[in-house]
Amino acid sequence: MKLRLPLPLALVSVLFALPAAAQTSLPTLSRPITDQIVNRGAVQIDLTTHFGVPGVVGQVVQFNFGPQSRVNVEVQSAAAPLNAANFLSYVSRNAYDGTILHRIDNLGTTVPALVQGGGFSATVNLTSIERSAPVALEARLPLVRGTLAAARPAGDPNGATSEWFFNTIDNSANLPGGYSVIGRVMGTGMTVIDALAQSTTIAGPNADLAKLPVRGFTPTPAQPSPSLANLLTLSTARVIPVYPQAVGDPTAVLSFRISPPFLPNLSNQVVSGIIATSLTGSTLTITPLAVGSVFLEVSALDSNGNSSLITRFQVTVPPESVLAPVFTAHPVSQTVAIGGSAVFHAPATGGAADIFPLSYQWVKNGVPLNAPSSPFLVLRNVAASDAGTYACRVSNSLGTSVSLPATLAALPTPANARGRLVNLAVRTDADEFFEPLIVGFAIGDALTNGTKPLLVRGVGPSLAALAVPNVMADPVLKMFRDSLQVAQNDNWLGDPLIAARSAQVGAFALTGNDSLDAAVALTSPNGSYTIQITNKEEGRGNVLAEVYDATPAAEITDSTPRLINVSARAKVGDGRSALIAGFVVAGNTPATVLVRAVGPALAAFGVDDAAGDPKLEMFRGTTFLAENNDWNGDRQVAALAASIGAFPLPLTGSKDAVLLLTLPPGTYTAQASDTDRRGGSALLEVYEIR
């Protein structure tokens, strides 16, 4: 049975003002949040007691016409109990999902008067949806702008079934005979309906679709009918809560915005490490991490982006606080190759470490592991049996916390698809003699043999084309295996083998055959190598040292030598550029790397100008991933470094920086800078962990 509204009986073109009762108010701050003192564990704040939408007492149905086109409607069950229940029955069985708006009508006025839907599916034939028995008329509320009414066929006041219409103007005079108002639009939802109402209408295939709204469509002889993409589609219609539920509901009428902790100075400086905040449903949890005082701001937003007033309050963690352990990050699920490695990281903080030391216990599938007490869990030579769910328990004398779980999947993977380092690059400024850029790298390990084709470049002048300032004018490259020099180049002069390998590995093009950049293409056996780049001319300049693995992917086997580490030593701070190392992880699975920025520990090797406090930052493209300033002497990380031949760092009081990460395939950048700004030599290292 196909139903339609009657043609207009009155030709009135008056646009009435919006009555105050037609739509609800915007989100409101009903009660500011007072200052909080957090000194005995986490504090929870029920945000429903501070924010709301006044006057909303009925169920709310959300019409979803697209990600930015949601309309919330408060159902008026008290005014039209039979029709409201009928409408909700269609909503409850998802009957309106994938239906179209099938009518936009001016009703004889000069502007769109109503937008109608709920009757036809978004299918090729625009078939009628399955309809329940008709419902009797309950015309108790006027058809003012912002109301939702039950549609009915002409001449049958008691014939309403599935269809409904939004009133975009006051239609009380335009639609005589009575219609049941079943809802009112909330907030600024009418802006969405008004935008839909501006759509063009065409004559559809039958009388029910005589004013069918379309967008982006003009009939032509080649295409006389619109496609489904041209129709206005209702994706879903759902009953939603006013407030987010404990399980989390992104479609709730209200959501909440929590600022990062900050200090109210000129820049509202963000402060980390004093408190942690989390939002579950409508409950804000504030967890103390360290003694101090910060501010938070909280506001409520509705589905159309309208915001309440902001409440700002101070959170103080006093000196006498007793702090149980709190995770500052949780382990991340990973998929790795069998035979590869994986690292889970779950750092935590608690009371003063010297008084309330933290103890870590890692578990797999709920069973404790025989692993060191460490925020890191390192799994090397992963087997299929290592797959499972991992979590960390951290304890001190004040309590225990359990991290969120993370899964490990281990897949059989061909050698050429396993995550591996294929490109190592280091950039800094260097001198003509006293401050050269020195880069070390290693090929292979005890399980590999043979030789590896390499492309090694010292790029200076060509960096100018990449907007790098103050480039080295004429770099000279020398390459050593141990103390034996194995290659040297001043100007590359368009060498065909170098050009071919550059294209093969995807290296950026040098600016021409006559550029003064340096490069060599060679084949080298397993071993440790050093690259030294100096400026042939006087003065310092930015230079990039690059090492590329030129082995074709199809030729990689389990015994093929790999690039397993790179290290670079140069001056940082004191007006100099940071020391920057880039590397590429190729393959289809992640690779685990140990990255270190060493300053003070260099003094043990006779370096008398070592950087005092290097900071290490890691990026993927321009996205920040992680950072470390002082590594705190984790014994698990120390043992791992020793196993790959890295020299030891002090376990206590070290100002050196370390990161241990499992990274998916991609391009990464590690950056070492000197936080005390006095300047000095720093060593930046990247090691592959297998």
CATH code for the domain of 106: 2.40.100.10
Tell me, what's the pLDDT at 30? Answer: 94
Report angle CA 486, 491, 496 to the nearest 5 degrees.
Answer: 80
- Among 188-197, 347-356, 635-644, 665-674, the range of highest mean pLDDT: 188-197
Residues of the domain holding 387: 326-411
Residues 353 and 425 in one domain: no
Tell me, what's the pLDDT at 257? Answer: 93
Alpha helices in 188-243, H assignment, sequence order = 190-197
Q: Which residues contact 254 (CB under 8 A, 6 or more apart)?
A: 27, 51, 52, 53, 242, 243, 244, 300, 301, 302
Helix (H) or strand (E) holding 85: helix 81-92
pLDDT tens-digit map of 6-50: 322 222 222 223 333 456 778 999 999 999 998 767 789 999 999
Beta-strand ranges (E) seen in 168-248 are 181-185, 200-202, 212-214, 233-234, 236-240
Closest CA to 628 of 607, 610, 639, 613: 613
- How many Å separate Cα 314 from the centre of its chain? 28
Q: Which residues of 188-199 are buried (b: 16+ CB within 10 A; e: fewer)?
A: bbbebbbebbeb
What the block records as the tokens of 471 is 């480039």
Tell me, what's the pLDDT at 429? Answer: 67
Residue with tokens 């006057």: 55
DSSP state at residue 19: P
Which amino acid is it at 369?
L
For residue 5, being part of any structural domain is answered with no
Neighbouring CB atoms inside 10 A of 362's CB total 22
CA dist., res. 553 & res. 557, Å (int): 9
Residues 199 and 130 in one domain: yes
**pTM of the full predicted structure?**
0.54
Which residue, of 220, 237, 254, is where some domain finishes? 237
Residues 331 and 194 in one domain: no
Which amino acid is it at 575?
G
Residues 529 and 400 in one domain: no
Residues 217 and 343 in one domain: no
What the block records as the tokens of 242 is 């006013």
pLDDT tens-digit map of 509-531: 898 898 999 999 999 999 999 99
For residue 296, being part of any structural domain is answered with no
Closest CA to 583 of 439, 422, 444: 422
pLDDT at 432 over 60: no
- How many Å separate Cα 347 from the centre of its chain? 20
Give the β-pairing of 451-459 and 680-689: unpaired
pLDDT at 294 over 80: yes
pLDDT at 415 over 50: yes
Alpha helices in 467-589, H assignment, sequence order = 496-505
Answer with the residue of higher pLDDT: 333 or 434: 333
Q: How confident is the model at residue 197 (pLDDT cuts 50, 70, 90)?
A: very high
Answer with the residue of higher pLDDT: 248 or 286: 286
What's the domain count of the chain?
3
Residues 389 and 445 in one domain: no
Answer with the residue of higher pLDDT: 115 or 250: 115
Q: Which residues pair with 411 in a beta bridge?
A: 337
Q: Which residues contact 185 (CB under 8 A, 6 or more apart)?
A: 22, 23, 24, 71, 72, 73, 146, 147, 148, 166, 193
Q: Which residues contact 189 (CB under 8 A, 6 or more apart)?
A: 23, 70, 71, 72, 73, 303, 304
pLDDT at 533 over 60: yes
Which amino acid is it at 520?
V
pLDDT at 56 over 60: yes
Q: Average pLDDT in the 131-156 region? A: 95
pLDDT at 250 over 70: no
Percent of the chain with pLDDT over 70: 92
The CATH number that applies at residue 669 is 2.60.120.510
Q: Average pLDDT in the 71-86 region? A: 95
Tell me, what's the pLDDT at 519? Answer: 96
pLDDT at 60 over 90: yes
CA dist., res. 246 & res. 259, Å (int): 20
Residues 461 and 342 in one domain: no
Q: How confident is the model at residue 194 (pLDDT cuts 50, 70, 90)?
A: very high
The CATH number that applies at residue 366 is 2.60.40.10
Rg of the chain, C-alpha, whole Å:
34
Percent of the chain with pLDDT over 90: 54
Residues 624 and 561 in one domain: yes
CA dist., res. 92 & res. 115, Å (int): 22
For residue 197, being part of any structural domain is answered with yes
Residues 506 and 521 in one domain: yes
Per-position DSSP letters for 114-158, written without gaps between them: EEEEEEEESSTT-PBPP----B-----S---TTEEEE---TT-TT
Residues 561 and 545 in one domain: yes
Find out whether 445 and 533 touch, Cβ atoms under 8 Å.
no
Query: For the purposes of burial, counting CB atoms within 10 Å of the CB of 17, is it exposed (0-12), middle (13-18) or buried (19 or more)?
Result: exposed
Q: Which residues pair with 546 in a beta bridge?
A: 425, 457
pLDDT tens-digit map of 537-569: 877 788 899 999 999 988 999 899 989 888 888
Helix (H) or strand (E) holding 29: strand 28-29
Tell me, what's the pLDDT at 2? Answer: 32
Which residue, of 212, 237, 262, is where some domain finishes? 237
Closest CA to 334 of 344, 324, 323: 344
Residues 393 and 509 in one domain: no
For residue 546, being part of any structural domain is answered with yes
Query: For the purposes of burial, counting CB atoms within 10 Å of the CB of 383, is it exposed (0-12), middle (13-18) or buried (19 or more)?
Result: exposed
Helix (H) or strand (E) holding 172: none
For residue 7, being part of any structural domain is answered with no
For residue 14, being part of any structural domain is answered with no
Q: What is the number of H-type helices and E-type strands within the chain?
A: 4, 48
Q: Average pLDDT in the 608-635 region? A: 86
Which residue, of 365, 386, 411, is where some domain finishes? 411
What's the mean per-residue pLDDT of the chain?
87
Find out whether 683 and 569 touch, Cβ atoms under 8 Å.
yes
- Among 79-83, 121-125, 288-292, 433-437, the range of highest mean pLDDT: 79-83
CA dist., res. 342 & res. 536, Å (int): 44
Give the β-pairing of 292-302 and 254-258: antiparallel
pLDDT tens-digit map of 165-179: 999 999 999 998 899
Residues 436 and 575 in one domain: yes
pLDDT tens-digit map of 295-320: 999 999 988 889 999 999 999 988 76
pLDDT at 152 over 80: yes
Find out whether 486 and 480 touch, Cβ atoms under 8 Å.
yes
For residue 312, being part of any structural domain is answered with no
What the block records as the tokens of 544 is 């990039």
Q: Average pLDDT in the 493-497 region? A: 93
CA dist., res. 387 & res. 568, Å (int): 36
For residue 268, being part of any structural domain is answered with no
CA dist., res. 496 & res. 499, Å (int): 5
Tell me, what's the pLDDT at 353? Answer: 57
Give the β-pairing of 181-185 and 70-75: antiparallel
Find out whether 292 and 325 touch, Cβ atoms under 8 Å.
no
CA dist., res. 477 & res. 472, Å (int): 12
Q: How confident is the model at residue 447 (pLDDT cuts 50, 70, 90)?
A: confident
Tell me, what's the pLDDT at 18? Answer: 33
Query: For the purposes of burial, counting CB atoms within 10 Å of the CB of 654, is it exposed (0-12), middle (13-18) or buried (19 or more)?
Result: middle
Tell me, what's the pLDDT at 9? Answer: 25
pLDDT tens-digit map of 336-377: 999 989 999 998 877 655 566 889 999 999 999 999 899 999
